[in-house]
Structure 1
């Protein structure tokens, strides 16, 4: 007899069954295991087309799915089901949530501090730098940065979060064991090692086919409080993500670009249509702060008969930071001693042509997030310049 988790995979693999049908049936009957015990007439009575109900009732191909589940521990992955307490609460609220997720990495998914950063694959140098800076600053403030592991803006957003020693999640349009693009293999490993995760609803081994990505985007936006579009052409996947975010009642942000550049026509159009303009990380946080302050811990109705407790989030620093951001003005005066710390960093840079960020952290005696924030402030003031390879020098 198949294991209970196998029925979850089987329900999604039955012909004609999509996320909405899964949600309908699980809300009606509680678990996929119970659904497979029903006749096609009983399934159809729940509002499912008769041919789909028949394909569920006649499904018998369980053995390959058992093997798929057995393979998950070998790649460091696990199955997170819609009825599990660690299923993302924001994602459970959308109209077509995936019935389960394959998660490769140790990250818990229950915090409500996710913000997506997406944009062009063939991004400009300015766009890349902006994505990296937003990822770094958001992660340094305790937010979880979400993106799609693609070339360009996505990769820079992930890397920025990692540079801040923060957490980042990559939502894939392929199996969690398939890294696309291949040159982001080291980045994917760093995401996992940094406490983040690779996430997909697709079976392991699934290749990155073009048709997978638009449906992937609903997960990317659904996980998050808001989506920041850094660069997007007139017709791009980022605009699909923005549209889905609006349908899911998520906030959409866009970084303005030159009207002479085709790379930013899509993001500029979003601004014309009402997206919030972003020039710095405070523009994002200031817009979302009231929403975070009023949002109670996620207790969306669970489809199972018995209530499933929501575990406490392990992202303690994020929760504390959200509370601080909500209760204090964004431009609150820096704590005493920060100015002296900036001087210490500048003095260290005077003694070397270029210093790696790790050396600056070690010599300053401050924690990594504080040093990264100070370096960004000094860079914005024109006193410090960042170079490739996480190197810094006096401007």
Structure 2
């Protein structure tokens, strides 16, 4: 008989099951082990597509999931479930919360006073200094700094929080036992040693594939009261995070940059569209003050000597923050596979004015991560438009 926690992993592993379906079924039936006691007709009656209901009812591959749970203590990680009292309160409020998180580190995620700082991987020196300063001053005032452990802005925000002896969380697009990029291993160790945590909804051992990052970004923004964009080009993952934050009713902030720099065109556009301008940490705190009413924020004393920084490696040539997914053994992309899958999604969208992402996943026969990655690519190419509520249409 599988342990109760295994059923959580099994529910998310069943074909066609995404975060919304997990939430629907758990709210309807309670603990996942009860769901696996139902037949396909009973599961479908809850509003789940019949193919998905059948995949849940017929799921039997519990053994590798048991092994995964047994491995968690060996890497200092734990499973944090949606029904646990210390599940992040901000994250619980979004439309598609992860049913569980893998958390590596001692930090409790129940603190609602989280603020995200994200931006360009190939950041300017000024952008790096600004991210480090914001991370330090927010952490010194008792906020938890959240970012994605990427090169550039993310790394500086984490390090700033560590310099203040504050808490910082890294939300990963890979398993919590996989450090990406590899040169941030010392930074990850410092986050863990400083009482922070590495967080992911992905199974341990999962590599940083491109399809993981759009879904990762909804967790990053969902954990927080607001998201600060320090530097972002016109087409960047940071803008996707900003859009997700708006859909989650989070405050979006942006640091202004020179109009002559391509690194800040995206963040400057956010300011034109209504993001709050940030020149200092007080700009963030004053805007969030109404939400902070009644929530005490402890002020930490910033040490005279900052925490030693890990050595900064030489920056590689700029490339996309998200690594490519479809590659052959020689490293060449396989565009024909992506093209066929994208054509399937476009064909489904032609038959309806607007489709919810869950409907696209179901009708395409592709896994959720692949569909989300392709929708992101098609949106950046101007062929697909996303509407509030995770609805998509042809552009």
Q: Same fold (TM over 0.5)?
A: yes
SS of equivalent residue, structure 1 residue 259: coil
User: Partner of 2:72 in structure 1?
Assistant: 72
CA deviations 1:235-273 (Å, max 9, x no partner) are 000000000000000000000000000000000000000
C-alpha separation in 1, matches of 2:304 and 2:248: 36
Conservation of the 8 A alpha-carbon contact between 2:141 and 2:298: no
Shift of 1:112: 1.1
Summarize the alignment of residues 291-310 of structure 1 with structure 2, pairs less than 5 Å apart. 291-293=291-293
**Secondary structure, counterpart of 1:253 in structure 2:** strand
1:46 paired with 2:46, answer yes
Q: Secondary structure at 2:210's aligned position in 1?
A: coil
8 A Cα contact 2:187 2:310, kept in partner: no
TM-score, normalised via structure 2 length: 0.76
Unaligned runs of 5+ in 2: 312-395
Tell me how far apart the structure 1 counterparts of residues 154 and 310 of structure 2 sit (CA, whole Å): 18
CA distance in 1, matches of 2:291, 2:208: 35
- CA deviations over 1:339-387 (Å, ceiling 9, x no partner): xxxxxxxxxxxxxxxxxxxxxxxxxxxx842648xx9xxxxxxxxxxx9
Once the two structures are superposed, residues 21-63 of structure 1 have per-residue CA deviations (whole angstroms, 9 ceiling, x without a partner) of 0000000001110000000000000000000000000000000
Q: Which residue of 2 aligns with 1:277?
A: 277
- Separation of aligned partners in 2, 1:125 and 1:39: 58
Provide structure 1 residue ranges, at least 5 long, that are not aligned to the other structure.
296-317, 322-366, 376-386, 391-395
Q: Distance in 1 between matches of 2:60 and 2:36?
A: 10
**If you compute each CA radius of gyration, which structure gives the higher value, 1 or 2?**
1
- Measure, in 2, the Cα distance between the counterparts of 1:177 and 1:370: 30
Matches within 5 A, 1:80-159: 80-159=80-159
CA deviation string 1:273-329 (max 9, x = no partner): 00000000000001001111067xxxxxxxxxxxxxxxxxxxxxx6344xxxxxxxx
- Deviation of 1:144 (Å): 0.3
Paired with 2:309 and 2:222, the residues of 1 have a C-alpha distance of 33
| Contact preservation (8 Å) 2:175, 2:207 | yes
Q: RMSD value over aligned CA atoms? A: 1.7
Superposed displacement of residue 195, structure 1: 0.3
TM-score by length of 1: 0.76
**Distance in 2 between the 1:125 and 1:115 partners?**
22
